[in-house]
Amino acid sequence: MSRSSSLPERPKLDIDPDMSPSERLAALRDHFEDIVGVHDELADQLESARARQDDLREDVDHLQRENEALKTSSLYIATVEELNEGEEVVLKQHGNNQEVLTDVSPRLAEELEAGDRVAINDSFAVQRVLDDETDARAQAMEVTNQPTVEYDDIGGIDQQLTEVREAVEDPLTDPDQFDEVGIEPPTGVLLHGPPGTGKTMLAKAVANQTDATFIKMAGSELVQKFIGEGARLVRDLFELASEREPAIIFIDEIDAIASKRTESKTSGDAEVQRTMMQLLSEMDGFEARGDISIIAATNRFDMLDRAILRPGRFDRLIEVPEPDAEGRTRILDIHTRGMNLADSVDFEELADRTEGFSGAEIESLCTEAGMFAIRDGRTEVHTVDFEDALDKIDREDATGTPVAFY
Ligand code: ATP
């Protein structure tokens, strides 16, 4: 550490009253030069003091950040099991399921209820109550008591619909027939095919038909958003389904947790592996599952680890393709049901012009056509609106970016 250098001596002006004017002038000139010298020296010292001040400021910032990091040590998560008289609670720590009896402050005691999730420190003292938003389980799963999709809302994949009904609906509504025939119903159904072709709709419609709770979890979210919690969430998913049976578990984008093993051994891969192993072990222990069906979906069938396709796991594979012309006609019909269409709109012709469109793309084509009608000040949708919508979609495909509507 450099020490601050001492201040230069203050220059003195020695003028003898007996001096001649020229001698005085010379003395004043010398004094002026001394002052300029001291000034330069002080300016140098000031500059180095400023540089030192900057260095010290950086050190302070660094120490402050370190201090903050030390103060914010990690907290554990626990669930409140019981509230005793006074200010005592029984907590169960997540992860190791250790149960502890601990005191809480009167302020927290008033706020707490059994079932709340709380953050606790090393000494099991409750630091704060977590709101529902922080509950990964609630965030990671979409739970619908009764989805509204009907079989009639799905077009162009009748064969697939029949297969899903046989594999999921029949075991839920008439399990005895499987006993009588002496076969096991399929454990899991895997729907695979391009995006937007109706895989989620199929799962929702069968949940609706069987009055089952629909519980959806997205594989990609498990590994990207809930890092480190994948395996626990899979366990929670099956637990929730057994609390809410009859239930349909729908795992979208299953490829995110069940891809072929790669050579790399990064911690992310290990986490994905743990999540998949948990899923496999839940499915393997599925016999006593009661009224729960499991459906998964993927756009990347080629990437799947074959281990998940073994008997007793996803043992019913159903391919959901892009709709053919007849399918597209049907989907156009479905998505224009509520629209005010001119008689001249010809679905068959539109179906010819929408080759390669998925169900989701046909749905947005219909919405776009409606927007063009509104833009033109009409309440009736004409063929020209579908043509404009097709042009817009073509331009978007060509540029790869959405084209502004107006
Ligand atoms: P992804 O693989 O991207 O998850 P998906 O195959 O699950 O897609 P859905 O979510 O079921 O596709 O479909 C998205 C929307 O597209 C639906 O809400 C529906 O409006 C429309 N759609 C897709 N397929 C069909 C279909 N076969 N019949 C009617 N509408 C469809």
What integer pLDDT is reported at residue 135 of this predicted model? 59
Whether residue 240 sits in one domain with residue 116: no
Task: Give residue 217's domain range.
Answer: 138-319
Whether residue 112 sits in one domain with residue 203: no
Domain boundary pick from 86, 102, 130: 130
Which residue puts its alpha carbon closest to atom 12 of ligand 1?
A: 196
220 Cβ inside 6 Å of ligand 1: no
Question: Could you tell me the strand order of the sheet in which 213-218 lies?
Answer: 141-144, 213-218, 247-252, 292-298, 188-192, 314-319
Whether residue 298 sits in one domain with residue 200: yes
- pLDDT tens per residue across span 340-380: 999 889 999 999 999 989 999 999 999 999 999 999 899 99
Whether residue 382 sits in one domain with residue 237: no
Q: Which atom of ligand 1 is nearest to the CA of 299?
A: 2
Whether residue 190 sits in one domain with residue 252: yes
Report the C-alpha dihedral over residues 23, 24, 26, 29, rounded to 10 degrees. Answer: 180
Residue in the block written with tokens 């990964």: 136
What integer pLDDT is reported at residue 25 of this predicted model? 92
Whether residue 290 sits in one domain with residue 353: no
61 located within any domain = no
What integer pLDDT is reported at residue 1 of this predicted model? 47
Taking alpha carbons only, the member of 366, 295, 373, 304 closest to residue 330 is 366
Q: In one letter, which amino acid is 356? A: G
Q: Beta-carbon neighbour count of residue 394 at 10 Å?
A: 11
What integer pLDDT is reported at residue 256 of this predicted model? 86
Domain at 238, CATH number:
3.40.50.300
Ligand 1 pocket, mutate which of 322, 363, 365 (most atoms under 8 A from CB): 363
Distance from the CA of 198 to the center of ligand 1, in angstroms? 3
Domains: count for the chain: 4
Distance from the CA of 234 to the center of ligand 1, in angstroms? 25
- Phi and psi at residue 20, in whole multiples of 5°? -75, 160
Distance from the CA of 218 to the center of ligand 1, in angstroms? 15
Residues near 388 by beta carbon (within 8 Å), at least 6 away in sequence: 368, 369, 372
Q: Which atom of ligand 1 is nearest to the CA of 202?
A: 11
* pLDDT-flagged residues of the chain (< 70): 1-4, 69-73, 86, 95, 132-139, 225-228, 261-268, 286-290, 398-406
